[in-house]
Structure 1
Amino acid sequence: MTKQYERKAKGGNLLSAFELYQRNNDNVPGLGEMLVDEWFETCRDYIQDGHVDESGTFRPDNAFYLRRLTLKDFRRFSLLEIKFEEDLTVIIGNNGKGKTSILYAIAKTLSWFVANILKEGGSGQRLSELTDIKNDAENRYADVSSTFFFGKGLKSVPIRLSRSALGTAERRDSEVKPARDLADIWRVINEAKTINLPTFALYNVERSQPFNRNTKDNAGRREERFDAYSQALGGAGRFDHFVEWYIYLHKRTISDISSSIKELEQQVNDLQRSVDGGMVSVKSLLEQMKLKLSEASERNDAAVSSKMITESVQKSVVEKSICSVVPSISKIWVEMTTGSDLVKVTNDGHDVTIDQLSDGQRVFLSLVADLARRMVMLNPLLENPLEGRGIVLIDEIELHLHPKWQQEVILNLRSAFPNIQFIITTHSPIVLSTIEKRCIREFDPNDDGNQSFLDSPDMQTKGSENAQILEQVMNVHPTPPGIAEPIQSLTQS
């Protein structure tokens, strides 16, 4: 059996390499100690390695993304299959077609990765026997089947969430072992030696709800890396969480190690001059300050050697992402002169607090800020943490956005987060005019819930006029009914 694992591992199979590492680490007879490091590094390299492309962007050597989703008797669908693009998939269709249901099916599946990254044997979100099973399901159960891709050594990670209806004689269990196996690799390798971890997030329409600003001082609160997964798939993308974290980072960076070292060096030099000048009374204080300087230098060296980005760099990365993605925002900072902590932005040249922004600005800023916060926390080894991998779901991307912003939103998101697989829904022809047709999946407008496959439109959408997209892709006449005829009669007269 060991030889079989070795053959597969040397052929690039991640699961086999991890099995050999686990066996070796558990002192299984017949495996030498030197193999512990060999198989560990094989797994770590598979997860971590990447290259810089021609544009200067880091790209993982082994991409991770959702390849296919099949829904059977799930909510309104009898049977539905969708193939996803590696980078971006935009789902379109009339209200009530089930676009949001698709996102929730994916989110529930992703939750099993998250739960098992956090702890061994974790449980993700299950299908609901009350709301997730189609009312007239012939087989009295619902299936959500997904296939993920993770490089050439793990081309298929199949997962199935299942639930039987109440009163059904036979139980239908989910098949989540592949999710647990992959999450185990991320968790175990990261515990032994820090690695970058994938980001998973869902942003539903509830992100438009107003946020509650916490006025408590959270500077002393210890931030845990795995807080990045907290409520990530809950849908709302809580802006108050970002505000608390950003203020925390600001206060931490005020006392950054490097600035502390400079201050200590200055104090040591001043005390040394005093001692050299004959002031022996401060000699003991000089020794204390030298000790503090030595300890601070050791901490700084440890941070540098670990290659993990500092909190000041984290703060800078998040600020740059917000200013590059959110139109009209050119600066974000924490104002402390008033006695309370206020996050402020420069909006079209004017300094305002974040709660003075328009709904559209605040909703979009909260999405970008929340995603950037999570990625910074999960990717400490990347020079640019926003180049980490992951899967992000966004419902109604155009929510509250001005048409000009709708023209830029997809481009800006993909530029800021280049290795994220975005799965998005929209009703906006403006958004569709900015993306290629290969990225679009459309519902048949006459579908009654029995449509079996979502496909791309025939027409090339990128660069097309909105009226053309409305009519040929979204099956909506550019001029509303009841208005076209009066306009026609006016033009003829």
Structure 2
Amino acid sequence: MRLNQLSVTNFRCYSQKTFNFHPQFNLIVGQNASGKTAVLDAASVAIASWLIGFKKTKDKKNLEKTDATLTYVEREGEAQFIEAWPVAISAAGSVNNNDISWERSKESPTGNTRYGNAAELTALARQCDQQLSEEIPLPLISYYGTMRLWQDPRAAKSSRNKKTPIFSDNVKPSRLDAYNHSVDPRIASKELVSWFAKQEWQAFQLGQEPMMLTVVRNAVLNCIENASYLRFDPKRGELLLTFKDGKRQPFNMLSDGQRCVLALVADIAQKAAILNPHFGEQVLELTEGVVLIDELDLHLHPRWQRHIIEDLRITFPKIQFICTTHSPFLIQSLRSNEELIMLDGLAPAQLANKTLSDIAVGVMDVNSPDTSSRYAEMKGVATEYLKTLDEAKSAPEDKLQQFKERLADSIAPYDDNPAFQAFLEMQRVVQLGE
């Protein structure tokens, strides 16, 4: 699956907007409240349309009443929000080498989400649903939000589900299991751990490690610096990561950045392995799909930010990534300006060899990125102080005290920097006296 184009009507902050996507990597940048997450939410509705054609999938994501664009108006002296209808999401892309377009819409607050204009997409899905026993490719779809690590999609379910044994065989495995929670922005971490546990139990029983376990483990090790081995620890009931220096850390003791990347990469790799086991050891190289990630730089050190995109490209070469970020390091690591989607202004002609300062000013609209905002503020205050001092020298005697008070007030907020204050006060004494 690929998303080539996404159009939204009356969706969240967009009354009408069209986005074009690069087939490999897309990085959406913009200021807070510019609509970055809204683009991902709209894309998740679009890719979730694929699930409608499968009888046993549950995550058929719908448009909600709260998705409608709001307009603040005053009528007859009363202020209120007016919802804009209909809400529609249109997409164009490809699935299994078929170029198609589809649409999901909601006509009113109480209406159902329509998918009549997604007939071609759902027909392809139904065809795949009937051929699951055959070695047909299934596209991977997944959405990871900013709270992906801290909430579990299963948390709100019954206590019966919470107590299900980790090695339970009550449910027969299916390739469609990989579509469970696929457009829920939270990672089903308990299911991920359970999958590792079952795979390692199978390895113990057979005396040989399942190929898919090796594939998923290697994907994680390729994306976490200095990691050498990943396994399930039955005593702790969680994953255990070993580093090249021999140090071992359980998942809950890792840094937030390490946990975010480990869970995200393992989840994508595990889904690919479940969807397309017939690809064997090449499953990650051959599985296509769309993965949405909100704030890809979440909890990552700048050094890690500089290569996380390339790590994902290499590990999942046929996956189309659509991500948001506030990090200039991620922007700097893109291969071309065609992979950058700017919600504020236009992307520069090229990103190659751009410095962080160039990106901060030209892409992220940050003034004077080489210095702190406080330093720039103090520099401005000092300039105005000296200008006022020049005016004060020629002022009449009865106005001199007012000038001195203005000068004192202007540097009063910087009492944490006595050297700054002392220097300017010395200038005042030289020019005006005590």
Give me the TM-score of the superposition, normalised by structure 2.
0.76
Q: Which residue of 2 aligns with 1:481?
A: 373
Specify which of 253, 267, 279 is matched with residue 356 of structure 1: 253
What is the alpha-carbon distance in structure 2 between the residues aligned to residue 255 and residue 232 of structure 1?
A: 30
Matched, 1:160 2:97: no
Q: Determine the structure 1 residue equivalent to 2:179.
A: 229
Q: Which moved more, 1:218-227 or 1:81-90?
A: 218-227
Of 51, 65, 86, which residue of structure 2 is paired with 1:114? 51
Question: Structure 1: which 5+ runs fail to align?
Answer: 1-63, 261-310, 446-455
Q: Deviations over 1:135-161 (max 9, x none)?
A: 237962111111112476x32x11111
Q: Which amino acid aligns with 2:304?
A: W
Matches within 5 A, 1:53-64: 64=1
CA distance in 2, matches of 1:138, 1:343: 46
* Structure 1 residues 178 and 147, CA gap change in structure 2 (3 angstroms): same
Find the residue that maps to 1:194 and give its secondary structure: coil
Is 1:201 paired with 2:142?
A: yes
**Mean CA deviation greater in 482-491 or 197-206:** 482-491
Alignment deviations for residues 184-234 of structure 1 (CA, whole Å, 9 cap, x no partner): 22222334x23231110000001131679x897523435333211110110
Report the alpha carbon displacement of residue 461 of structure 1 after superposing the two structures with TM: 2.1
The residue identity in structure 2 corresponding to 1:460 is Q
Alpha-carbon separation, structure 1, partners of 2:109 and 2:196? 46
Deviation string for 1:224-263 (max 9, x for gaps)?
A: 332111101101112222111101100011112xx49xxx
Measure the CA separation in 1 of the matches of 2:192 and 2:114: 40
2:8 aligned partner: 71
3-state SS of 1:190 partner: coil
Question: Which residue does 2:118 correspond to in 1?
Answer: 176
Which stretches of structure 1, 4 residues or longer, exceed 4 Å deviation after superposition? 170-174, 214-217, 487-493
Cα deviation, 1:393-428, whole Å, max 9, x if unaligned, reads: 000000000111101110000100000010111110
Q: Retained in 1: the 8 A contact 2:149–2:263?
A: no
Specify the SS of the correspondent of 2:23. coil
Structural mapping, 1:357-376, within 5 Å: 357-376=254-273
Kindly indicate whether the alpha-carbon contact (under 8 Å) linking 1:118 and 1:226 is maintained by their aligned counterparts in 2. Answer: no
Matched, 1:100 2:37: yes
Structure 1's 180 and 482: CA in aligned 2 closer, same or farther, altered over 3 A?
same
2:70 alignment partner, one of 122, 126, 135: 135
Give the C-alpha shift of residue 71 in structure 1. 0.8
Task: Please name the residue that 2:25 is paired with.
Answer: 88
Deviation by residue 1:301-360 (Cα, 9 ceiling, x = unmatched): xxxxxxxxxx61111111110000122322112334x4x544211136211111110111
Q: CA deviation at 1:177?
A: 1.0
Q: Does 1:246 align with 2:196?
A: yes
- CA distance 1:111–1:411, change in 2 (3 Å): same
Structure 2 partner of 1:330: 228
**Does residue 218 of structure 2 align to residue 218 of structure 1?**
no
Report if aligned partners of 1:141, 1:172 keep a CA contact under 8 Å in 2.
no
Does the 8 Å contact 2:6/2:18 carry over to 1? yes
Q: Distance in 2 between matches of 1:241 and 1:173?
A: 30
* Structure 1 CA distance for aligned equivalents of residues 144 and 96 of structure 2: 27
Name the CA distance, whole Å, in 1 between partners of 2:297 and 2:190: 22
Q: Name the SS of the counterpart of 1:255 in structure 2.
A: helix
Matched with 1:285 is none
2: CA distance, partners of 1:123 / 1:231: 6
Q: Which residue of 1 aligns with 2:290?
A: 391
1:109 CA drift (Å): 1.7
Question: Structure 2 residue aligned with 1:440, among 315, 327, 340?
Answer: 340
Provide the residue aligned with 1:124 in structure 2. Answer: 60
For the residues of structure 2 that align with 1:360 and 1:372, how far apart are their CA atoms?
A: 18
Partner of residue 407 from structure 1, selected from 280, 285, 306: 306
% identical aligned pairs:
26
CA contact (8 A) 1:389 1:419 kept: yes
The size of the alignment, in residue pairs, is 359
Residue 74 of structure 2: aligned partner: none
Q: SS of 1:207's equivalent? A: coil
Give yes or no for contact 1:200–1:391 (8 Å, CA) kept in 2. Answer: yes
User: In the superposition, relative to structure 1, how do residues 167 and 413 fare at CA in structure 2: closer, same or farther (>3 Å)?
Assistant: closer
1:461 aligned to 327, 344, 351, which one? 351
SS at match of 1:200: strand
Match of residue 302 from structure 1: none
Taking the aligned partners of 2:266 and 2:113, their CA distance within structure 1 comes to: 42
Report what 1:472 is aligned to.
Answer: 362
| Correspondence for 1:255 | 205
Deviations 1:341-385 (A, max 9, x none): 442111362111111101111111111111111011111111321
The Cα offsets for residues 423-482 of structure 1, whole Å up to 9 and x where unpaired, read as 11111001000002110010126xxxxxxxxxx512422432111101001111213433
1:416 correspondence with 2:352:
no
Structure 1 counterpart of 2:93:
148
User: Structure 2 vs 1, CA of residues 482 and 106 (structure 1 numbering), >3 Å: closer, same or farther?
Assistant: same
Structure 2 CA distance for aligned equivalents of residues 171 and 231 of structure 1: 19
SS in 1 for 2:353: coil
1:118 and 1:462 map into 2 onto residues whose CA distance is 47
1:200 touches 1:392 (CA, 8 Å); kept in 2?
yes
- Give the distance between the partners of 1:377 and 1:114, measured in 2 at CA: 16
In 2, the alpha carbon distance for the partners of 1:139 and 1:314 equals 47
Contact 2:337/2:349 (8 A) holds in 1: yes
Q: Residues 172, 231 of structure 1: CA spacing in aligned structure 2 closer, same or farther, 3 A cutoff? A: closer
Q: Distance in 2 between matches of 1:189 and 1:348?
A: 44
* C-alpha distance in structure 2 between counterparts of 1:209 and 1:138, whole Å: 32
Of residues 217, 231, 237, the one that matches 1:319 is 217
Contact 2:89 2:105 in 1 (8 A): yes
Q: Distance in 1 between matches of 2:113 and 2:137?
A: 38
Give yes or no for contact 1:238–1:366 (8 Å, CA) kept in 2: no
